[in-house]
Amino acid sequence: MRRIALFALATAMTLVLSACDLRGPTDAPDGPPPVEPAREIELLSVFVAEEGRWEWGDENDPISEYDVIAHASWEKLRLANEDAASYPNLNNALIDLADSQDRFMSDQMEFMAEDARLYLEDAANADYFNGYSSTSDYNIMRADNVVMSIMEEFSSYTGGAHPYWGVIGVNLDPATGEIMPIESVIADTEALPDLIGEKLVASYGEHLYDTALDLLSVRDDQGNLEYSWNWSVNYQGVTFYFNPYELAPYAAGMLTVTLWFDEAPELFNHEFLARPMSGYCIEAPMSVALPFDIDQDDEVRNSLELSVLLNEEYSDRELSISLDGKLPAESNCSGYSFDCFLACVGDPSQRRHFLYVEAKYDNDYPTLFVYDLNGANPVEVGSLPGVGFTGAWYEDGESELYYRGTMDDPGCFDLSTRMDLLGTLSGVKTYSVDASTGMPASEQEAYRIPELYLPLTSTVPLEVIILPDQKAEVVDAGTQFTLLRTDGETYAEALMSDGRECRIEVDCSDYPHKVNGLSEFDCFEMLYYAG
């Protein structure tokens, strides 16, 4: 079973399919070995869908009917089919969470739209009104048979000087689908107030409220700690989050504390210390620094910070990548949306880290950027135009919704390449991260063509190569061809309407392309090209 999870978590109120087997040995961090063998790691796969609602101005509003007065956007998750069958409770939990998120955000839209129109009843307010919004994005810190750990980034603006934003950690037991308490990870939670308090003072001492540390130590009548920890866990440690206003003023931003596994392995329950031998991925957030350790032999802990800047000249956005405060010497990563994944690969004793970024442009045209994070500065090592993560359409209630794929296992992940051959197609291959260069590498010659495209119908007799016999044969006009595979340059293989497979040879040296010496448009009823 192939496993790593990408899961979308819901907001504070709530909490797709490639084929690779990863069930190999695991390694543990430096330090005393656990008393019992750590559980074997099975990575999970999850696909993410985006939902949105918009409320526009109308003739009764003192703003343009083309202006948005309220907007909500959020994400939903589904397990890959194989994982859904293996972890039914987790799958049901994700379904319930998605339903809860739909209801919550729909209610938010009603409230925001009503409040916006009340605000706009005074026409003078229209000059200062930019719309109300509520957004939620999900980042998978870890997803396997031990834990599914997600960090939700949320933001809400309903008036005032600035939006309110923060993060929520949601951690699920894959076996039961239930919320996992911090006691499942940390053996002695009584030590948390002192451990975390010491790190908070060291990092944010001058910003903390006078009563901040007291809040962490409050106990109930039974003597139990009352504070509800907000946390996520990955393969290097547990990170605790403190949202604006919680322990410090808004201007202090997000406060975070990480307890690293290799600092005190005896503090943690041993099953969380195991790591996949082939490596792992973490979805990198946009508003919170991602702590990770590049070299466990030194005393330096690292921090990856991503932010999006508006490029006013071209009306798109640029991705800023900072590693320990250092920027790449040169980067051309721009677009309208970004999905970013930290890939940890290579021998466990010499892990290497790379950042994979899928940037989307007009018409969802993707480009994959790869950055090397192992030197003094992040370095762009390559980009692949037209390449992005795979996705698929799935039933969602009474309609279908597009679920985008993600990067989960760096030793086995799918990428989709946009190409023009008998129409605009997306061809899929399975890749692994080359630990020496960081670029994706594949041993597969042909791209798989997903079942997304209508069959082609020939308008003239065509000579094709019958598979697997490799014999040429002329098939009648009116034959339907369902595309299966292609090299993206010289041929496409297809299932014919008589049940046999064939290869159609295509000359792409000029446009329009030619089949049997004829223009491809003269050979088929309809070919669909983007643009």
Q: What are phi and psi of 272, to 5 degrees?
A: -80, -10
Contact assessment for residue 192 and residue 229, using Cβ atoms and an 8 Å cutoff: yes
More confident residue, 46 or 126: 46
Q: Is 341 helix (H, G, I), strand (E, B) or coil?
A: strand
With a pLDDT cut of 90, the percent of the chain lying above it is: 66
DSSP state of 223: S
Query: What tokens appear for 257 in the block?
Result: 């504390």
User: Partners of 372 in the beta sheet?
Assistant: 354, 379
Residue 32 DSSP symbol: S
Alpha carbon distance 70, 444 (integer Å): 47
Domains observed in the chain: 26-373+391-411 (3.30.565.40), 456-523 (2.30.30)
Report pLDDT digits (tens) over 24-37: 455 555 444 444 44
Identify the three-state secondary structure at position 107. helix
Q: Determine contact, residues 133/109, Cβ cutoff 8 Å.
A: no
Q: How far is CA 332 from CA 73, 140, 318, 349, 378, in A?
A: 27, 26, 8, 33, 13
Spatial distance between the Cα atoms of 318 and 308, rounded to a whole number of angstroms: 6
Structure confidence at residue 38 (pLDDT): 58
pLDDT of 208 higher than 60: yes
Q: Specify which residues 291 forms β-bridges with.
A: 303
What one-character DSSP code corresponds to residue 251?
A: G
Q: Are 482 and 494 in contact (CB under 8 A)?
A: yes
Handedness of CA 183, 189, 190, 196 (dihedral sign): negative
Joined tokens for residue 330: 């040169």
d(CA 138, CA 243): 16
Report the C-alpha dihedral over residues 457, 463, 466, 471, rounded to 10 degrees.
170
What's the mean pLDDT in 455-483? Answer: 97
> CA-CA distance, 447 to 289, in Å (whole number)?
36
pLDDT confidence of residue 523: 97
pLDDT band at 452 (very low <50, low <70, confident <90, very high): confident
Least confident interval from 6-15, 131-140, 317-326 = 6-15
Region for residue 257 given its phi and psi (left: phi exceeds 0; alpha: psi -120 to 50; beta: otherwise) = beta
The answer to whether 380 and 402 are in contact (CB under 8 A) is no
Say yes or no to pLDDT of 449 above 60: yes
Computed over every residue of the chain, the mean pLDDT equals 88
Is residue 166 within 8 Å of 151, Cβ to Cβ?
A: no
**pLDDT tens, position by position, 111-167:** 999 998 888 877 667 777 888 999 999 999 999 999 999 999 999 999 888 899 999
Distance CA 50, CA 76 (A): 6
Query: Could you tell me if residue 286 is left (phi over 0), alpha (psi between -120 and 50 degrees) or otherwise beta?
Result: alpha
The confidence score (pLDDT) of residue 161 equals 84
User: Distance between CA atoms of 19 and 17, rounded to whole angstroms?
Assistant: 7
DSSP state of 272: G
| pTM of the complete model | 0.89
